[in-house]
Structure 1
Amino acid sequence: MTTVVNRAEAAERAVRERTARLEHELGDLDDPGNPLGADHILAADGRQQLLPVGERVLDTFGLNAEFVPRELGGRLDRLDVLARILRAVFRRDASLGLGYGMTSYLAAAVVWAGGSGQQRRRTADLLLSGGRMACAYPEPAPGNDFLHNRLTAVRDAGGHRLDGRKEALNNAARADALVVFAHTPEAGDDASTAFLLPGPRSGGEGVALLPRRRTSGIKGCVVQGLEFTAHRLGPGRMLGAEGGGAPLAERVFPVTRAVGPSMALGCADTALRTAVAFARAHRSRSRASLRSARTRSALVDAFTDLLVCDCLSLVATRAVHLLPRESRALSSAVKYLLPTVLTEMVYDLSIVLGAESYVTGGVYGLFHKAARDLPMIGLGSAGTAASRSAIVEHLLRVPTLTAPAAQAGPDRAVRAGLFRLFDAGLSPVRHDELTRPADGDTLLGSLEDMAREARAARGEFAEALGEAADALVTELRLLREDCAGPAVRPSPRGLSPRVYALADRYALIAAGAACLGVWLDGIPGLPGGSAWAALALARVVGRLDRTAVRVPEAGAERLLAEVLDRFDDSRSYDLYATPIGR
C-alpha cells in the first residue's frame, strides 16, 4: 500500500511540476512587458494569427510530448492529466490551444486507436520532433455543413486514388501529416476508410489548398479547405482495414469528446477572471461592483458552473480508462452539456461588464475574445447533435442495464476511482472496448448510494445538500420510467422529440452525480465543506426545472470569498486551483 501511495504522490508531483513549468514559461498574463501577455495576445488575434512567441514557448516546453503515449516516448498516460495541462494554454489563448495543441492530438488519437505499430512509431517520432498534424474526421448525419467531407478513395494499382474536398480544416497548410476519412466504394456503399498521409507541403501531386475561411472566434487558427484530385495513396497509408473508418472513428470519439471540452474550461476560466477584475475595479456605488448582489451572484454562479463542468469532465476522462464501455455515453454528455453551460455562463458574466464585454482591446478585451472563442472550440465532427444522438442511443438501452453491486469489491473500487483528482492508478486506454455496448451505468447506478451519504451529512449546508440529492434521485427514477415507456420506442415515424429532452436530463443528472462523487472524495483545494456541493447540485436541479433548492446565503459568501482569493493568489477556477502565470 505504501508503494502505491508513493507512486501516486510521485505521479502527481510530476504533473504539478510540468504544469508549473509551463505556467512559468507562459508568464503573467497581466504583465504588459510579457510577450505572452494579454496585449500581445489580443494584437495577434486582431491580426488573425497565432502569436509566434507562444508557439516557440510550447516548442521549448515540448507540448507535443503530452499527446504521445509513454510507451512511444511521450508523456501521455491519463486523459484527465492531458486536459489539465492543456488548460494552461487555453487560459492564455484558445487559438493557441486549438491551433498548436488540440488539432494535432485529434489527429494522433486516430493513429493510437487504429494504426499499425510502424504507423504509431512514425507518428510519435513526428510529434516528438515538433511536427504538426491535422485530421479530416467524417461528419455524421446530424453534423454541420461547415465541416462537411466529400472525399472518395478508389483502389488503384496497389493503393488508392483520393478525390474530393474537405471544406474546412484547421492547420491544413502547416500540417506535416494528415489523417483523412474517405468513402471507399469497393468496401461497401456506405463504407469509409481512414488514411494517414503526408501534409500538403510534401504530399505530392493532386493536393491543393482552398482559400482561408474567416471565423468569428479562434481568429488565430488558419482554417482552410483541401482539394484532392487523383491524389495517389500508396500501400501502407490505410489506418486499419479498408471499410473500417466508421468503427475506428467510433473508437476515437469517446476519447476526444471527453478531453476536448475539458481542455476548453481554461478559456471559460479566463472569462471569469476578467469579470472579477472588472468588478474589483469599480467603486462601491457602481452596479458592477462587488457590493452589487447581481455581480456577486453572477460570479458565484459562474464559479459553481465551472466546478460542475469539471466534475463531469473528470468522471468522463477517467471513465475512458476505468469503464471504457460506459465512456461513450459519459463523454457524449460532456460534449453535449459543457458548450451550453459555458456559453450561458459567459453570457451571464457579460451582464456584469456591460458595454465593456464588447471591447476587443484594452484591459477587458480578453473577455470578448473568450466569448467568441468558446462556441468555436465546441464545433466539430463529434459536436452537439452527434453527441446527443449517442446519448439517445444509450437511453434506449437504459431499461436493460444492470445496476452496479453495492457491496465492497472491485466494482466499488472502480466507482471510487472515477472521482479522484490525483489518483494515478489508471489502466491504458483499451480502444477495442470503447465501442462495445455498456452492460451498466455505473455513475447513475451509484447515485442513490451517494444521495444516502449526502442525507447523512452534518453541518450548515447538509439540509440543502440532502434536498438537492433527493431531487436528483427523483429525476433519475422519472428518467428510467420514461426510458421504459413508449416515448423512447422507435416508430415508423422515427423517435419522439421527447427523447431528445431526455438526453438533456440524462446529461444533467450525470453532472449532478459526478458532483456528489467528487464531494464525497473531497477536494483538497476547495474550503467550505459541503457549501460548494450544495450550490453545485442546486444549479443542476435548477436546470432540470423541477424544484428550487435554497442554499443558505453563507454558502454563496464562502464561494465568493474563494473566487476572490483565487483571483488574488492567481489560481485557476477549476477543481485543481492551479497556480497560474508564475
Structure 2
Amino acid sequence: MSTATHPEVRAGRSSVHETVEDFEEFLGDPRDPGSRITFAEQMEYDEREEKAVPAFDALAEWGYPLHYVPAAEGGRFHDMERMFGLIRSLARRDMTPALSSGATFLGAMPVWGWGDAAQRARVAELIKAGAFGAFGLSEADHGCDVVAGEVLAEGGDEAGYLLTGTKWPIGNGIRSTFATIFARTGPAGPRGFSAFLVDKEKLDPLHWATEPRVKTLGLRGADVSGITLEDCPVPADAVIGSRGRGMEEAIKTLQISRTLVTAMSMGVADTGLRTTLDHIRSRRLYGRTVHEIQVIREQVLAAYVDLLVAECTTAATARAISVMPERLSLWSSVTKYLVPGLIDEVLGSLGSVLAARHFMREGVNDGIFQKMLRDNRIVSIFEGTSHVHQHVVASQLPSLLLRPEYDLNTEALLQDLYDHEYEPAEWDLRFDRFKLTNGGLDEITQSLPDVVAAIPAEYATLKQVAAEVLAVQEKLQQGIRQLVKQGNDLHSNARGFTLARQHCLVHAAAACLHTWNANAGRGGFVGRPEWVVLALQRILTRLIPDQQLDPDSLVVVEAEMLSSWEDERLFSLVPLRLGGTGTD
C-alpha cells in the first residue's frame, strides 16, 4: 500500500516518477499470471463484458482511489502530473479500469473546485469507502452541443429543486453512488445552467432510474449508461458553487479531464509497442527475426518516436494544470486533439507489423493488442471530439499572432513546464486561476523562433530540421492573417481547421525542443539531439511530403528503444522501471 507522497528521488526525475514506480512494483508485470492485474484476467472480463473486480480490489489495496481525494479531505491527491502518471501506468495494463475509476474523479472535480465544506466531506467519504462517481453532462439529442441541454431543474427556493431529464451516455451511470448533474436553471445560454451534486443514496427511488448499459466496441467491461430523473427532488444545497455558473464549471473541469484521458492513450501505446517487440524480436521469417527486416525495423522505430512526441506534448500540459492553468483552454485542446489520433496511428502501424496476430483475442501477451486498439478509439471522442478541439484551437489562432517578447519570465516558465526534475507543488483542486480563453498568450509556440535561434551550431542537423519547423510556423501564420484579412472566422471553415491541425503539430515540435532544452545539461538519452531530430522529422512527415529520417539518429534512438524493452523500462524520456523487474 502506498503511503509516501515523496519517496527518495533519483537524478533526472521527480517524486512523481518515484510514486509511479511504487505503483508499478505493487501491480507487477501484467504478462505474469502471478501479478495483481494481468492481461489474461483483464481479457477474460472483457470477453464477459463485466467489471474486473480483482483489478479494482488491487487498486483499493494500494490506495489508488485516495489519489482522487484532496489531502484536506483525508485523501492523497497531490498534483495532476502525478495523477497523469498513475493513469498511464494503469492504462498500460487495461484502459477499462482506468476509465471507470477516472469517471469517479471527473464526477468529483466540480465538488473539489467549487463545492462547499459539506459537499466536499460527503464526496470524500464516498470515494474513500470505494464508491463510484459520474459526470452527468452529455445528452442523447445534443452530443457536444452541451449548451442545448434539456435536463431541467425547476424551483430554487428553500424547498429545493425538481430534476427532470436523462443524462446519456455517461460513465458509471449505473455503478455510481454520486453524480454531478448539469441542468438548466434559467433561459437559453451559458448562464442558464447549474451543477448539482446528486447523492443517489438520498434520492426518492420513485423519481429516478438508470438507463441500460451501452454495448461498445471497446471498454466492454465499463459501465457506459445513463441516469433518468423525473421530477426528482434534490435539496437547495445540492447546487455546486453558484447558480447559473454550471457551464463555466463544466468547461474548466473538462480542461483537466481532456488532458488526463490522453494518459490512457500513452499507456495503451506502451503496451502496443512492447507487445510488438515481444513478438517480432523472437519470431523468425526468411531465416532471420522479423525485426531484422529493414522496413519493419524503421516502422517500429517510427512508432517509438511518435510515442516520444506524444509524451513531450502531454507531459507539459499535465504539469501546466498547476504551473500555468491560465493557458489550459488552448493547451488542453491541442493535446486532446493531437495525442489520441497520433496513438491511433501508432497502433495502426504496429498492427500491420503484427499482421494476423493483432487481430487475435489470444496469443501474444494473451491477445491484449486488439483490446488496446479497440479501447483507444474512444479517447478521440469523449471529453470533446477531434472536431470540437480543432474548433477551440482555430478560434484562438488569430489572437496568437502578436508574439510577446521572449524574456526571463518566459524562459523560467518553459523550464518549469519541461524540466524532468521539477517538483510539483501540492494543489488544492480549486479552479481560481483557470480561464475560458488564453488571451493571446502561448509561450510554447510563441517562443519557437527564439529557441530555434539558440540551438548551438554544433548540432547542425537539429538546427536544420528545427528551421524547417519554423518555416512551417511562418507559413501557418501567413495563412491565419490571410483568412482574418478576408473576414473569415477560422473556426467556421475547413481552411481554419486545417490551420488548427498544423498549429497542433507545431506545438508538438516546440514541446520536443523545449523538453530537450530543459534537460540537455543532465546527459543521458534525453540530452542527446538525435531523438529530437527524429521527433521533428516525424512531425514534418505530416506537414511536408517525402521526409526521410536521419540515418545517424536512427542508430542512437533505436538503441535506446531496445534498451528500454530489454531492461523493462517505460518507453519514455524519463527512465522509469516497470513492475516485475525488481529493484536496482
- Residue aligning to 1:535: 534
Tell me the equivalent position of 1:346.
347
Do 2:110 and 2:253's aligned partners in 1 also have CA atoms closer than 8 Å?
Answer: yes
Q: Whole-Å Cα distance in 2 between the matches of residues 98 and 499 of structure 1? A: 32
Q: Which amino acid aligns with 1:162?
A: L
What is the aligned partner in structure 2 of residue 373 from structure 1? 375
Residue pair 1:142, 1:385 contacting (<8 A) in 2 also:
no
Counterpart of 2:194 in structure 1 is 193
- Identity among equivalent pairs (%): 26
C-alpha distance in structure 2 between counterparts of 1:492 and 1:331, whole Å: 21
Give unmatched runs, 5+ long, in structure 1: none
Change (3 A) 1:77 1:345: same
Residue 125 of structure 1 corresponds to which residue in structure 2? 125
| Aligned ranges 1:82-481 → 2 under 5 Å | 82-100=83-101, 102-138=102-138, 143=143, 150-155=150-155, 158-185=159-186, 191-199=192-200, 204-283=205-284, 285=286, 289-364=290-365, 365-399=367-401, 401-403=402-404, 405-408=405-408, 410-426=409-425, 428=427, 431-437=431-437, 438-454=439-455, 456-458=456-458, 462-481=459-478
**Alpha carbons 1:192, 1:246 under 8 Å: kept:** yes
Of residues 240-249 and 522-531 in structure 1, the stretch that sits farther from structure 2 once superposed is 522-531
Which region of structure 1 is more displaced relative to structure 2, 369-378 or 516-525? 516-525
TM-score with structure 1 setting the length: 0.90
Kindly provide the CA deviation profile for residues 23-48 of structure 1, in whole angstroms up to 9, marking residues without a partner as x: 22222222234452222121111111
Q: State the shift of 1:381 in Å.
A: 3.7
Q: Distance in 1 between matches of 2:232 and 2:331?
A: 39
Question: Would you say how many aligned residue pairs link Structure 1 and Structure 2?
Answer: 569
Contact conserved, 2:519 with 2:526, CA < 8 A, in 1? no
Question: What amino acid is aligned across from residue 477 of structure 1 in structure 2?
Answer: E
Q: Give the 3 Å change call, closer, same or farther, for CA 361–199 of structure 1 in structure 2.
A: farther
> What is the DSSP-based 3-state SS (H/G/I as helix, E as strand, rest coil) of the residue aligned with 2:45?
helix
- Contact map agreement 1:154 1:162 (CA 8 A) in 2: yes
Distance 2:370 2:63 in 1: 30
Deviations 1:296-327 (A, max 9, x none): 11211111111101101112122222222222
Aligned partner of 2:3 in structure 1 is none
- Whether the aligned pair in 2 keeps the contact of 1:131 and 1:176 (CA below 8 Å) is yes
Secondary structure of 1:544's aligned partner: coil
Structure 1 contact 173–200 (Cα < 8 Å) conserved:
no
CA offset digits 1:261-308 (Å, max 9, x no partner): 124310111111111111012115279711111221121111111110
Shift in Å at residue 483 of structure 1? 2.1
Q: Is the deviation greater in 54-63 or in 43-52? A: 43-52
CA contact (8 A) 1:314 1:421 kept: no
Structure 1 pair 312–204 and aligned structure 2 pair: CA distance change class (3 A): same
Q: Equivalents in 2 of 1:448, 1:530: separation in Å?
A: 18
SS at match of 1:167: strand
Task: Check whether the contact 2:151–2:166 (CA below 8 A) recurs between aligned residues.
Answer: yes
For residues 233 and 143 of structure 1, what CA distance do their matches in structure 2 show? 25
Q: Check whether the contact 2:180–2:196 (CA below 8 A) recurs between aligned residues.
A: yes
- Structure 1: how far apart are the matches of 2:234 and 2:485? 44
- The 8 Å contact of residues 73 and 124 in structure 1, kept in 2 or not, is answered as yes
Q: Aligned-pair RMSD on alpha carbons?
A: 3.0
Tell me the SS of whatever aligns to 1:110: helix
SS at match of 2:541: helix
Instruction: Decide whether the 8 Å contact of 2:398 with 2:484 is kept in 1.
Output: no
2:259–2:335 CA contact under 8 A, matched in 1: yes
Q: Match for 1:372: what amino acid?
A: R
Moved over 4 A (4+): 5-14, 138-146, 186-190, 200-203, 487-494
- Describe the shift of the 1:351–1:415 C-alpha distance in structure 2 as closer, same or farther (beyond 3 A): same
Residue 258 of structure 2 contacts residue 383 of structure 2 at CA under 8 Å; is this kept in 1?
no
Counterpart check, 1:72 vs 2:82: no
Instruction: Please tell me whether the aligned partners of residues 482 and 488 of structure 1 are also in contact (alpha carbons under 8 angstroms).
Output: no
After superposing the two structures, state which structure 1 stretch, 301-310 or 250-259, moved more: 250-259
What's the TM-score, normalizing by structure 2? 0.90
